[in-house]
Chains A and B, each alone.
Chain A
């Protein structure tokens, strides 16, 4: 039964002989909202409709969660801080249904029952917060009830998705398909990297974009698409082409990286950097009506274990030269989203030790087992020709950074003295690397380039992406 009352709510006895689990929820007026001081609240209801909708809600909750009895009392009028605004009591055969049902009801109540709340702030101002208000439903799971029912998801899995941070590198054919499903499934934070503008030749496969968006930035349009699906998703855009100079910085805040690029060089770069930074990578490629997909996890075999020699772009064909059917990119992009969801939710069967080949023309697919290769450069996080932090000369550094610091890390007895260095800081005296603060691009120099390479490698693994190493050391000056 759903009831509205202008009087303080007294919690009444609540029994149900067929139930073993009883959960009571009390919502009270708190003294702050969105960082502001709240002194009192005012509730106003469209009574007839609120009661009708409330009773409907109770019937649904009973059916959905197997509740044997539900009672909701909602206060209206002016309430002071500390007063009870709503009491929800549910009974179910077991505690699990009782907890889940009670939580479902409070989310639904805020979302759809026509009760408005006016917050009176300490500074004398006030604000109405309506039903379905974004702030109120930000934690609601309503949109995800159909997947929460899956035994391997549940409320816990949904929370994992909400906590997940996924980066889409490239929102072309693959990324266009992965993005809607990742966002719709409730992924909480999404990064989008793409420096391209929408072109008319993209539209047949890059389904995030409409004809009237030609000429606009892909990253920004993809972000708008994501927000239309789920207004609560946190989106960060990187309207730039990912390369060895910016990749570590872009990857830093994300746990799952979806490679939707069409460049082998970028794929191998992402592979090595994900290994270096301990991230998971789902990489896919398409060729006419075929697709390849594999997942690289921190302790599994990598892309370079499979292809030790990095192929040059152009040797295997590209979409622009060879043509591509939209559904093929779409299918593989959805496979990628599936891998990310499996990984986040801990579902078995990740392609972390295999590669899936899909032929959409014949309907054949092959899942091929792959293993780690000893001394794999990719696994070590180092790909010589792509190593992003080796500077060939100080002149290169100057043209790249403008201003930068030079630190000589040779021991104090090493000669010759290096006049260009701003600081002489022997490697043996550096101590804990995580405490080192770099103020802008910093080039480290040693005698041969070997010690500085190792140091910069370690610094970058500790998140210091402003560290660079000078090739050939003092000789290279």
Chain B
């Protein structure tokens, strides 16, 4: 890559333009804010994306509007600010000291006690404020799931979320949107953002060709997508990465295409951006995505990264594998495709060369006869890592199992299909006796481990029970079987 093709990372901090070139690309946005800009309103509560105290909002043009996304500044690197407006808690009140409606609502509803979580909540509320309409209780819960508060019990904060739009007017950010959009567009000249300091370099290729070339030139580089895993390598494992290649600005990886056979989700597509498409085809999988991480995590994290990291407890692989998805990889000029389940070789080992990257995952479109059901078990409903996650895709011909694919996460060193259980069911009648018999072979498919999330015994037991539950749901449609559904319904009424 020649030097003249690169440019600094450019963004707006509030309304002020910033350019960074000689900053260590391992610098997180939080560190940058607190130490370089001395904006200390944004707090660190955990440094790993789980508490939301560090929440900031990124605005970027989407057509003639601004799109606002809350993200965790503690695990976002400064390079990811390129082309965006970074808004922090200090930006919201007017120059006359007048609080933003979301801040005023928090004050009026007694939404803060110790106040340490408050700046993060303010920013999540601010992002929610920018959405159309008044949010209902479930939307509020989803939008705030990534912000922990240990003092208030959340009620007053949720009340503020309801109350903040009572005045109903667009805020001053909406009024200023045309200028902001113009200022943001003026930042880009098509060149590649680049950072270099302390021997660590950072590139944000714009095209898939550039990406392939960069990886050929730097085969040991870290590929960075949403950073919701990679960020923690720096903040928790204290690693210093370099070179870093960010795929967030690669145009071709930022697309979803749907034809009559496949939904193709580009590797840089975030969970948030994938949601509508997934929801349209597989509502049950969308429910899994809705509980994956938090709003902030879903706004940054990608399905591509969830696959590429090879984790045995990633939530998207089990449903994708149950559906028979395929993975598209590229190395240099060479593209290849494989069944997603074959990508996962063993714990920490995937079928991918260091300089090879994920281009997209291809998900079969919904078929009328195929039923997909997914169940995630964790200690907490929202923003928790899976103890066991079961995905079941069933096609019945009359009462007989024409096809069944079952994949579990959290049960093996990789997301793995329950092939023995599948074999026990395939071609058989879909009746309780056969399902019970199939439950018995679950232990041939899985020998789960005991850890802080669950014991081996529980994991196996619950895996069997999830198969039972799946059977119940397909045969007794009137039965009430899901706490997640019940609580959302109860919250809807509240």
**Bound pair (A, B):** no
Chain B residues in the interface with A (C-beta under 8 A): none
Chain A residues in the interface with B (C-beta under 8 A): none
